[in-house]
Amino acid sequence: MIERAAWLSLVVAALVQGADPLVADTVTCSTWQQITTCAGPGGYVSHETTWNGLKTGDDNRGDKWTRSEWQGREIITVTPRRER
């Protein structure tokens, strides 16, 4: 299983990429009252929380994701922002 910090970096890198080739930016994450907040370059901010074993997150670009475990496997669903 991927460590939490590494997983958050992967998700942020995937969501920040846009139409350009994948470029990983450094983000800083902290947790307060069971909500993990990550901030990165250009004003990027994301939040992730856990409720009944389901982890949900979103960012200020409109992307959303969920993470859960089923039969020992991690299931990740990403909903990209709607194009304007």
Query: Residue 54 contacts by C-beta under 8 Å, 6 or more apart in sequence?
Result: 66, 67, 68
Residue 12 in domain: yes
CB distance 28 to 36 below 8 Å: no
Q: Decide if pLDDT at 13 tops 50.
A: no
Residue 34 in domain: yes
DSSP conformation class of 45: E
What residue spans of 1-84 are helical by DSSP H? 4-16
For residues 84 and 70, give the distance between their C-alpha atoms in angstroms, rounded to a whole number.
Answer: 34
Expressed as residue numbers, the domain containing 16 is 4-79
Q: How confident is residue 82, by pLDDT bands cut at 50, 70 and 90?
A: confident
Entry pTM: 0.62
Domain count along the chain? 1
Which tens digits make up the pLDDT trace of 26-58? 889 999 998 999 999 989 999 999 998 899 999
Residue 39 in domain: yes
Does 5 or 54 have the greater pLDDT score?
A: 54
Residue 38 in domain: yes
Residue 84 in domain: no
- pLDDT for position 29: 95
DSSP conformation class of 39: E
- Take residue 36 and report the two structure tokens written for it: 């993990």
Q: Decide if pLDDT at 76 tops 60.
A: yes
